[in-house]
Chains A and B, each alone.
Chain A
Amino acid sequence: MDYLAQQLINGLTLGSIYGLIAIGYTMVYGIIGMINFAHGDVFMVGSFVSLICILLFGITGSTDIVIGIGILMIVAVIAMAISGVYGWTIERLAYRPLRGSFRLAPLITAIGVSIFLQNFVQETQGARVKPLQALFAGGFTLHEGTEFTVRITYMQILIVLLTIALMAGFSLLISRTSLGRAQRACEQDLKMTQLLGIDVDRTISMTFVIGAMLAAVAGLMYLLYYGVIDFFIGFSAGVKAFTAAVLGGIGSLPGAMIGGVLIGLIEVLFAAYFSSEYKDVAAFSMLIIVLIFMPQGLLGRPEIEKV
């Protein structure tokens, strides 16, 4: 029981990270109907930017936790800004010129961009894994069992709270602001949205920027949680987040969040009870299972109407 509770806490933390990445996939799909396969690598770039900033600012395990968290927030903002620029540039250079051409074309450039980003980071940062010493190592003991103690670390609390805050802010953006309304309008009828005087190119650009920003924060969290990153983390995290988006129902924002948590839980539970070597396989098999038996996902519409 205690062991399970611990796994649920860990799964929730991991799922937060996947959920934040999944939003980027699902938003872009909702509006222009393409899978942005470079999104996982934008997450990876966000993670590297975070690492560089943390080292530059000199936060270490012995930094006071309040100051440390304050600086981490600044790191998050910088990572969001830089990743946002990446997201914008990728859309502008690799996808927009191909809008209106055959469906597979942007998919191919997406894979190209993904390979480019991986090689770029590998060349400039080196291929070896980059470690980061653990920050704020403490935590709370929730339950002292006879053979197992349930703990939640400060880092896990930080990750989950930050995710909740970001998702709340993001939901407000989508439901209340004129940009959010324009995004939902684009999703339902792109041509009509133009006919209301909305610059849909700009709306699409902003969608990529916002998705990249959320992925950047996820990149920071991943770095803090695992303490090691390399140029290839975008691939597996990307596929898992994509699975989360499909599981939740691609195009659905709440679906992406729920799917993220579920994939996090599945991965952690599989590792805990079956095999941690094959935990990635669990997530990938999930993708195949969902695609075959439930392609519309949990909250997706059965038929996504496109105009």
Chain B
Amino acid sequence: MTRPLLEIRGVETFYGHNQALHGVDLDVREGEIVTMIGANGAGKSTLMMTICGVNKATRGSIHFDGTPIHLIPPHEIIRLGISLSPEGRRIFPRMTVFENLQLGTAAIGPAHFDEDVQKIFALFPILERRQSQRAGTLSGGEQQMLAIGRALMGRPRLLLLDEPSLGLAPLIARQIFDTLKELNKNRGLTVFLVEQNANHALKLAAKGHVLVNGRITLSGTGEELLTHPDVKAAYLGGGAR
């Protein structure tokens, strides 16, 4: 079997003396959607930030397409072909929607901008209508679309999404998951997704992992996890019913 696109081995991450990740192992293969679910404070965002190099792994290694990325600064990691749509969206509120999308190409240069921005507008038509509006004035769902659009503008080989459905109406969340599925099918986009909305996220995924207190306690196909009693009880809210 070929080497995975993203290969995480024994990663431990600390905040001061508090250990947030206790040896995480995880693979994401080219063309896959991989989902990780976990409760508040499990360490999901920490893992995302560790992949991107904002938090440094104290132990363990992370390889992207064979390159050891746990040793290099964030902007260099991103330039290798990783985009993140972070927790809380983090769009630039005092810039226009259009400028936010322009910033999305910072890692690759503006050569494909015109072509790609049309694709984003086709995916999220509302962004086209709001393009000269300040991003901070968008609704939460629109901001989430912008964050994902901005991440896609970087033509990533690996798209990292930290709770893309957070705070969204179920309909909008579903729309975003459908979009991801489509991008994965039609363009072969590789996605690593972190979610609390376990139901949607696991349906989408080829593989799923459960993170508890900084450790992966359960792994399997999306289907397997959806029907696993522990997952049902803890994350799908269906255990008791």
Question: Are A and B a genuine interacting pair, yes or no?
Answer: yes
What is the interface of chain A, defined by CB distance below 8 A to chain B? 178, 181-182, 184-185, 188-189, 191-200
A43 → chain B closest CB, angstroms: 29
Say yes or no: A185-B74 contact (C-beta < 8 A), given A195-B54, A195-B84.
no
Q: Is B103 an interface residue, CB under 8 A from the partner?
A: yes
- Check if A200 sits within 8 Å of B75, measured CB to CB: yes
Measured CA separation A62–B102 after assembly (Å): 52
- Check if A197 sits within 8 Å of B90, measured CB to CB: no
Measured CA separation A177–B54 after assembly (Å): 26
Closest to A189 in B: B90
Q: Is B14 an interface residue, CB under 8 A from the partner?
A: no
Residues of B within 8 A of A185 (CB): 92, 95, 103
Say yes or no: A184-B95 contact (C-beta < 8 A), given A194-B75, A196-B154, A197-B106.
yes
- Check if B84 sits within 8 Å of A188, measured CB to CB: no
Residues of A within 8 A of B108 (CB): 197
- Check if B154 sits within 8 Å of A197, measured CB to CB: yes
Given contacts A188-B94, A196-B106, 4 further A-B contacts (CB under 8 A): A178-B110, A181-B106, A184-B92, A192-B86
Measured CA separation A189–B95 after assembly (Å): 12
A77 → chain B closest CB, angstroms: 28
What is the interface of chain B, defined by CB distance below 8 A to chain A? 52, 54, 73-75, 78-79, 84, 86, 90, 92-95, 99, 102-104, 106-108, 110, 150, 154
Residues of B within 8 A of A189 (CB): 90, 92
Residues of B within 8 A of A182 (CB): 103, 106
A249 → chain B closest CB, angstroms: 14
Sample (12) of A-B pairs whose CB atoms are under 8 Å apart:
A178-B110, A182-B103, A185-B95, A188-B93, A191-B54, A194-B73, A194-B74, A195-B86, A196-B104, A196-B154, A197-B108, A198-B107
- Check if A181 sits within 8 Å of B78, measured CB to CB: no
Residues of A within 8 A of B104 (CB): 196
Measured CA separation A196–B153 after assembly (Å): 10
Residues of A within 8 A of B107 (CB): 196-198
- Check if B86 sits within 8 Å of A197, measured CB to CB: no
